Structure 1
Amino acid sequence: MAAAGYVQTSLIWIAYAVAVVLALIAAAVTTFIWQTPRDRSPFVSIVAIVSLTALLATVLLLPVDIALVSSTTSTTLGHKKDWATPARVDSILFTLKVVYYSLYSVDALLCLVVIPFSYFWYEEYDEVEEQEGNQTVGSRLWGAFKYTIAFIFLVIILFLVGFFVPAAGSHGGKHLDLDFFKRLLEDENHGEKALTFGLGLLVTLGTLLYIVYTGSGFALFPVSLIKSAPSISAPQLSENTASQLEQNRERQRQLEMRSAGRPEGMSAKDRRELEALAREERTLVRRERLAAEAQGEGKSGIVRAWSKLCAVFRPLKLIGGFLLILLAILIWVSMLLTGIDKAANSICKQHCGYILAHINVFQPMNWIFVQTAKAFPIDYILMAFLILLFFSSSISGLATIGIRFLWLRVFQIRKGKTQPQALLMATVMLALITLAINYAIAQLVAPQYATYGTQTFCDLPPRHADEQPDCTNRFEAVKPCSEWVNSHHSTQVCTPTVMSTFLNRININWPVFGAIDFWAQFAFLGVFLIVFLTSLFRTPKLNLSELDEQAEADEEEGLLASTGRRFGATWQDITGHAGRTTNDADAGRG
């Protein structure tokens, strides 16, 4: 029996290792696709890849956490499996804690120290001084380090505050004498309390970004898949644009030659036509550049390969977009139901971050995970997909909104055009958002499943004190584990996940963080609803007061991408050659 337990837990960790390797590949591809080749910095690229990999490894640890604690209990009989002795369960939880604390510590150091140092390291580079020999590696290191000192002091201050300031949970309360709270607060040392405070603060900061970027991206990401297929392929667009540009310039030459011999110069009618042709020429030049970019001309092999891969899977975008919209609405409803349930039925309210004893309403997402868990590893795959959906939505929100200070755009996130500074700042923002995503999934999207997985307990008294209750013929007595359970035996059977324990400790020790994080979820739901309805019924318009060349290119790209569905032109994008059809000219003019 013990061997079976080791095999099962080993397979779960192997699946996680494979997921981390895939995350590394995805982080590398994402970094090279988004950053601009012209200003690429190897050091910045390495830091971004390592940071994104650490972020993905952190969020993908939640399904591992759920799978491991679920594997220790027999779902049908409601008791621990024979191999899941207390020592073995403690060993599993200790390993999870070590991995969690290591990843969270790495994420915090990357956000607060390494990435700021990389930012200033890149800013310190001066090509002219380096050519003249006035700039050395040592001078760049010192220049970057002296600006990073402030961030190092910030880390030290956060740790000291969390280490010495008394937590709210240490003072006790009328609800903190419950067994559930006692188990949360026992064996918590000062080091864990300091880490809890620091990460609680970072989760709260990340939640503010999560409201704006993930809320917007969660609505825009599925809609963008539906609206992203242009009506004409990039090669065909390039050919048609070149033909129209040639005709335009030939007409301009004719007008100029016709007026060359006139003493009175060009007529007013011809001058207006020439001005219109000049405006049309600028539009066609932009369109030609966009077509070249769509084909990956002048870009790295990875970007060109990615463009062709996107063309291969483009016909699936329409179907995938509709399915993701349905899933997003289902998640939205589930979060709203859980939020209302917590606000109405939490016995300690804001004093413990609205921890809920058990779900009092039918919660669709939680029900789906519990049901699919009967056919492992479907629930594991679904949870990983859900986490990646939130993460991808955050990236979509960053790309759409950009990095802003209030209403001013500081950096823009675009494929193949993202500056190194913007890439590093986006990575920091994603790190903070990732912490908020963990909170949202574990506390609102699937709270009971994220806390206890598929664990159940037998709600019958044991025949003898040293035996487990027998529910072999009383399956109605097998009940799902929840935060507060009545029988003493159930507290031995139900093992909460490490993630839920960590988040609940933040809620209890620092209830102000828990209250802010909880009510922020309603703001997230509001942002999603507004952006979703707006994206469905209103076409984005260009703000003419901020018109520049890049904005015009964005407008042109948006027009090209929203003129209709096209499945037949996919092959042209893959091969890179335009096809010959009778409607080519009309398609190019459309």
Structure 2
Amino acid sequence: MAIPSAVLAAGWIPFVVVIVLTLLFSAIYIRYYMSKYDSELSTTLATIFALTITLLTSAIVPVDIFLVSYMKTTDGSFKDWANDSASRASIEHSILYGYYTLYALVTFCLFILLPFFYFFYEEKDEATPTSCKSRCCTALKYLIVFILVVATLMLIGAFVPTKGTPNANSTEWKQIEALFKDLASNGLEDSLSFIISVLSLLGMMAFIMYTVRGKKLQNCRLAYPYYLSLRHLEANDRSCIRKCLLVLRPFEMLFGFLFLLVALLIFISLLLTNIDKAMHSKGYKIGYALAQRKLPNPVDIALVFCQMVFPLDYILMSGIIVYFVFCSMSGIRNIGIWFLWIRMYKIRPRRTRPQGLLMLCMILMFIVLAINIIVYELTPQYSTFGSQKYGNMTGGSNTTSTPLHQCTMEVAGEISVVARMALLLTRFFYKMWFFGATYYWGTWVFLGIYVLGFIIAVIKKRKSSIDGEIDEDDFDESDDEDLLRG
């Protein structure tokens, strides 16, 4: 039976809307931080495109979950159009190709697009102008290194031996049979999965470094504009943004409480998931895969419940992702971009240089890839099955007296459908358990550092709104701006 157009429209139209909103958000964000006196159109467009593509890798996850959930009715049986395995496979493949396309574009942006424009801008010399051809040639020379790196990662992912499918009669097969039925994958998929896993691992490090700092800032106070000099204070007092923030000032405590509540729910949910994995997962050799959630998880339960009212779960999931992204942005804004002990770039509204924008975009891309893993850790039931339920083990229609249960990996296949993101992660974590184990322990590190940072924030003496935000070289940069305008 053909897939009804209403099903495809309900799943993909919100995603199209999100694409437009994501593009607008990326453009506004990049424009907000872009220097007014030192910018280049090619760099701006490249960062907007790269940031948009990366954010879409998170935006497609709710579409994936909605489509697999929409295949079943409230009584746990498949809908008429979804009874045909070919129809289900068609939807699954379309989502899978969407993931492959977006992650391939992310790889292209990180290893080709952004490095090229970074070195392209580095060759710009106002004193002795160089031709565009000369700048392109020099940028391509440096780009060879990045091409060799990505080629090496692809070869490693495609040819390095990984854990294969165990014998169907072995004990190990009995352990993983409940997780997924199909271990097959091709070399190209393994290559892309390996590259994204390496990038996500770097993103986890950046996530721990920047997002924890950003969450602490969000919880302690509202993120008001950062003042760089007395002249900037006067300018901010006249700005429209400043006037809007003054209007919102009476609600500062309310917003602060809401931020604290969201952070607390996320912390508790991640903690419970990790404890659940420690107690009931299949162990590190299978990447701490959790066949069934045993402990209650407030965020996971809320999302599963909200999926009954479309598109409430989509909005909540997007809100969680946006919260993580804004915390990460706040952390990067506060810490800056460093190489070891050397500060490379400061991220300041209207004053960030093109190279700083490119580095900012790359760090955000790494972090968003890690956020995709964190979201899976945060909502194991919702991210795997959505609101799917089952009432018997035959796949047929249920009677009203049949009790319904949340779908688990033990009934995956004919009884329920696994979201493609969950399938890709679980399958790869089994084949290369190191990544699954690292993400698991990385989550523990994130939770530990967050608790430590929160305690320090509570007992530490509160600073004024401009204390620590004005660096000595801010005044030097202001002088440079005056020279550029003169």
Please, what TM-score do these two structures have when normalized by structure 2?
Answer: 0.90
Shift of 1:319: 2.0
Structure 2 residue aligned with 1:277: none
Give the distance between the partners of 1:447 and 1:181, measured in 2 at CA: 13
Give the distance between the partners of 1:176 and 1:308, measured in 2 at CA: 63
Give the distance between the partners of 1:23 and 1:475, measured in 2 at CA: 43
Give the distance between the partners of 1:387 and 1:55, measured in 2 at CA: 12
Aligned residues of 2:392 and 2:402 also touching (Cα < 8 A): no
Matched to 1:204, the amino acid is L
Give the distance between the partners of 1:415 and 1:533, measured in 2 at CA: 30
Structure 2 residue aligned with 1:472: 399
Matched to 2:380, the amino acid is P
Query: Is it true that 1:456 corresponds to 2:389 in the alignment?
Result: yes
Give the distance between the partners of 1:203 and 1:229, measured in 2 at CA: 31
Query: Is it true that 1:289 corresponds to 2:208 in the alignment?
Result: no
Structure 2 residue aligned with 1:324: 259
Give the distance between the partners of 1:491 and 1:70, measured in 2 at CA: 14
1:58-457 counterparts in 2 under 5 A? Answer: 58-74=57-73, 76-84=74-82, 85-130=84-129, 135-170=130-165, 174-177=171-174, 178-181=176-179, 183-186=181-184, 188-225=185-222, 228=224, 286-296=229-239, 310=245, 313=248, 315-347=250-282, 349-442=283-376, 444-457=377-390
Matched to 1:140, the amino acid is R
Shift of 1:223: 2.9
Alignment counterpart, residue 409 of structure 2, candidates 459, 462, 483: 483
Matched to 1:161, the amino acid is I
Give the distance between the partners of 2:452 and 2:325, measured in 1 at CA: 20
- Secondary structure at the counterpart of residue 129 of structure 1: coil
Structure 2 residue aligned with 1:568: none
Quote the sequence identity (%). 33
**What residue ranges of structure 1 are gaps of 5+ in the alignment?**
235-284, 297-304, 463-467, 555-590
Name the CA shift for 1:307/1:501 in 2 (closer, same or farther; >3 Å). Answer: farther
Encode CA deviations 1:68-107: one digit per residue, 9 max, x unaligned. Answer: 1111111x21111111121111111111111111100101
Answer with 165-174 or 519-528: which moved more.
165-174
1:507-518 counterparts in 2 under 5 A? Answer: 507-518=429-440
- Secondary structure at the counterpart of residue 354 of structure 1: coil
Give the distance between the partners of 2:190 and 2:410, measured in 1 at CA: 23
Shift of 1:142: 0.6
Aligned residues of 2:75 and 2:400 also touching (Cα < 8 A): no
Aligned residues of 2:267 and 2:447 also touching (Cα < 8 A): yes
Matched to 2:120, the amino acid is W
Name the CA shift for 1:422/1:324 in 2 (closer, same or farther; >3 Å). Answer: same
Shift of 1:518: 0.8
Structure with the greater alpha carbon radius of gyration: 1
Structure 1 residue aligned with 2:32: 33
Name the CA shift for 1:107/1:366 in 2 (closer, same or farther; >3 Å). Answer: same
Give the distance between the partners of 1:392 and 1:169, measured in 2 at CA: 40
Shift of 1:309: 5.1
Give the distance between the partners of 2:237 and 2:149, measured in 1 at CA: 44
Name the CA shift for 1:202/1:213 in 2 (closer, same or farther; >3 Å). Answer: same
Give the distance between the partners of 1:18 and 1:410, measured in 2 at CA: 36
Shift of 1:397: 1.1
Query: Is it true that 1:527 corresponds to 2:449 in the alignment?
Result: yes
Give the distance between the partners of 1:77 and 1:483, measured in 2 at CA: 19
Encode CA deviations 1:269-311: one digit per residue, 9 max, x unaligned. Answer: xxxxxxxxxxxxxxxx942432214534xxxxxxxx6555555
Shift of 1:108: 1.0
Give the distance between the partners of 1:364 and 1:42, measured in 2 at CA: 45
Give the distance between the partners of 1:36 and 1:91, measured in 2 at CA: 46
Shift of 1:393: 1.1
Aligned residues of 2:181 and 2:413 also touching (Cα < 8 A): no
Matched to 1:80, the amino acid is F
**What residue ranges of structure 2 are gaps of 5+ in the alignment?**
479-486
- Secondary structure at the counterpart of residue 382 of structure 1: helix
Q: How many residues align?
A: 471
Give the distance between the partners of 1:146 and 1:170, measured in 2 at CA: 42
Name the CA shift for 1:176/1:425 in 2 (closer, same or farther; >3 Å). Answer: farther
Structure 1 residue aligned with 2:482: none
Shift of 1:469: 3.4
Aligned residues of 2:214 and 2:329 also touching (Cα < 8 A): yes
